[in-house]
């Protein structure tokens, strides 16, 4: 009987390896039905259920498997499922247990690395990614995860070597090429343009063409060919934009809902609102938010928790809506009358697992929190908010030049210059609302002013955040904390001026944007 069950478990494992989720589920269910104490059966059934989109059911079965047999493989996958339902605290606890009996297989070690990375613990993730590569050196995903983490940790040379090894294994791996191009500024003597051109010519997959096109544009820009770079970007972005079911009206509806709901948010109860004083850095992406994060987190009393989704998720929970997106008009409207104190407590609980030193204040540098400034101000009365502003034309160009999370619908606006301009207009209007409704709560910092007067603007920042002066904030580029944003390479060097007024290199191509801003009453001076 045991031999039969063992054979059936192997058959279920083989079905899972083939991607046959239905077959895995059927075989694993038979195992559990025959023996409710079969840990392997519960594990395989849990993986199958979660793979079919039934994550809560998967958690139940994987939890049972861990209870029956607390081994590392089962715990690693249970931790992954907890992150999928945004229960980061439970994921962290399961990971801690998994460290006591590490799994022997490469997939589970990679899974543990992914969960640590999700929690912002990149140093902890690296050992697991490296172990996965040692155990299965032919696996491209494991190698890519290792390289990404090395880059986050500032180990650029090792990241470059890891990516070259991956490209040697898979010459057309578009993600590897894209990441490699971003690690440093390329030079005439050391670049990948010819290799990228060849890979781009071979690429048939639309996402691969997008990644390779961005890599080419970045390297052409580095080599002093800005016109060629922008031409390439226009081509690949237009190609990708045609595949998206997107109209700016979708984002406009969210802005409308935020503005319309503010009176309800302002009047909502805030029972037992927390006294904690996190620092929120908000603004349009690619406007200097990571730079300010590094400046402030270089202070001995501050740490960066990275770009958290904690506030959007706390608002979503308070709303009770079941819409498929975290932020949408229905959710904003439903959350507006919630108890703001409860949102604040929920936020802090979610953020807690992304912190390292609880004796220090923490930064949440998710730029998109500009949508939630009203909720932040009410839910966390002691929170400090800093908003980065940048020349509107440079903001449009920088958003167009940066490839955000391709699968995220929140960045669909970023593939068309006029879509970005329309988004900026609404961002600017929303910031005007916060400026008037929340006097003194939101400090606006111009990127150009920070570049021109680093010390003066740093003193303003520290004063606003209630922090005493620290010389370390001027040496932010020596901060060795991980950076998990596209600005990783830039913020590891002193402030430079080359990004100011970059748009003027492309005045002709950006003329429609300039005219749009003129009609919308946006000054570009």
Half-sphere exposure of residue 42, counting CA atoms within 13 Å on the CB side?
A: 21
pLDDT at residue 1 in the model: 34
Q: Model confidence at 353, in pLDDT bands (50, 70, 90)?
A: confident
What is the DSSP annotation of 269-290?
--TT------EEEEESTTSSHH
Q: What's the rounded Cα separation, in Å, for the pair 13 and 10?
A: 5
pLDDT per position as a tens digit, 92-123: 999 999 999 999 999 999 999 999 999 989 99
Q: Considering only 179-188, 400-409, 503-512, which range has the smallest mean pLDDT?
A: 400-409
Provide the pLDDT for residue 86: 87
Q: How high is the pLDDT of residue 493?
A: 61
**d(C-alpha 484, C-alpha 154), whole Å:** 10
How far lies 297's CA from each of 85, 199, 377, 397, in Å?
29, 39, 21, 27
Residue 3 has pLDDT above 80, yes or no: no
List pLDDT tens digits, range 243-293: 999 999 999 999 999 999 999 999 999 999 999 999 999 999 999 999 999
Mean pLDDT of the chain: 94
Residue 485, pLDDT score: 59
Check whether 221 has a pLDDT greater than 60.
yes
Span 476-502, pLDDT tens digits = 887 766 665 555 556 556 676 777 889
* pLDDT tens track for 16-58: 888 899 999 999 999 999 999 999 999 999 999 999 999 999 9
Per-residue model confidence as pLDDT tens digits over 173-193? 999 999 999 999 999 999 999
**pLDDT score for 525:** 84
pLDDT of residue 497: 75
When mean pLDDT is compared across 25-34, 134-143, 213-222, 374-383, the lowest value belongs to 25-34
User: What average pLDDT does range 206-226 have in this prediction?
Assistant: 96
Position of tokens 């950006």?
510
pLDDT tens for residues 126-167?
999 999 999 999 999 999 999 999 999 999 999 999 999 999
Kind of pairing between the strands at 279-283 and 442-446: unpaired
pTM of the model: 0.88
What's the pLDDT at 197? 97
Model pLDDT, residue 484: 58
Q: What is the pLDDT of residues 310-320, one digit of tens each?
A: 999 999 999 99
Show the tokens assigned to 110: 């990679």
């Amino acid at each position: 009987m045991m031999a039969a069950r063992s054979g059936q478990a192997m058959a279920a494992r083989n079905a899972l390896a083939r991607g046959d989720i239905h077959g895995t589920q059927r075989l694993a269910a038979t195992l559990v039905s025959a023996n409710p104490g079969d840990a392997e059966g519960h594990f395989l059934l849990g993986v199958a259920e979660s793979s079919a989109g039934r994550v809560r059911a998967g958690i139940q079965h994987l939890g049972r498997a861990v209870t029956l047999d607390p081994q590392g493989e089962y715990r690693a996958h249970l931790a992954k499922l907890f992150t999928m339902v945004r229960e980061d605290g439970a994921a962290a606890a399961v990971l801690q247990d998994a460290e006591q009996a590490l799994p022997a297989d490469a997939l589970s070690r990679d899974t543990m690395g992914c969960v640590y990375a999700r929690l912002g613990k990149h140093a902890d993730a690296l050992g697991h990614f490296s172990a996965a590569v040692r155990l299965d050196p032919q696996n491209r995903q494991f190698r890519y995860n290792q390289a990404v983490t090395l880059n986050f940790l500032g180990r650029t040379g090792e990241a470059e070597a890891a990516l070259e090894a991956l490209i040697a294994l898979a010459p057309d791996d578009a993600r590897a090429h894209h990441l490699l191009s971003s690690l440093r500024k390329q030079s005439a003597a050391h670049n990948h343009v010819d290799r990228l051109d060849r890979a781009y010519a071979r690429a048939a997959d639309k996402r691969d063409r997008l990644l390779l096109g961005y890599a080419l544009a970045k390297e052409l820009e580095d080599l002093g060919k800005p016109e060629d770079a922008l031409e390439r970007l226009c081509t690949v972005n237009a190609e990708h934009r045609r595949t998206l079911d997107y109209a700016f009206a979708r984002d406009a509806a969210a802005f409308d809902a935020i503005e319309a709901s503010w009176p309800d948010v302002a009047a909502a109860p805030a029972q037992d609102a927390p006294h904690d004083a996190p620092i929120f850095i908000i603004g349009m992406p690619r406007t200097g938010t990571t730079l300010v994060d590094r400046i402030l987190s270089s202070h001995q009393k501050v740490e960066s928790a990275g770009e958290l989704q904690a506030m959007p998720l706390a608002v979503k929970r308070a709303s009770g809506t079941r819409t498929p997106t975290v932020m949408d008009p229905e959710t904003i409207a439903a959350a507006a009358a919630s108890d703001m104190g409860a949102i604040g407590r929920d936020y802090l609980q979610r953020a807690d697992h992304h912190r390292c030193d609880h004796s220090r204040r923490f930064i949440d540098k998710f730029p998109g929190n500009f949508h939630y400034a009203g909720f932040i101000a009410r839910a966390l009365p002691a929170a400090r908010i800093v908003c980065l502003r940048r020349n509107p034309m440079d903001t449009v160009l920088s958003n167009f030049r940066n490839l955000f999370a391709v699968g995220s619908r929140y960045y669909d606006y970023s593939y068309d210059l006029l879509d970005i301009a329309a988004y900026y207009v609404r961002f600017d209007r929303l910031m005007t609302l916060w400026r008037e409704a929340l006097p003194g709560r939101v400090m606006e910092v111009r990127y150009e002013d920070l570049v021109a007067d680093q010390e003066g603007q740093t003193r303003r920042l520290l004063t606003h955040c209630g922090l005493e002066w620290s010389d370390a904030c001027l040496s932010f580029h020596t901060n060795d904390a991980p950076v998990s944003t596209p600005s990783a390479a830039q913020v590891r060097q002193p402030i430079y001026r080359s990004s100011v007024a970059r748009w003027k290199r492309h005045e002709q191509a950006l003329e429609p944007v300039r005219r749009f801003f003129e009609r919308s009453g946006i000054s570009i001076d």
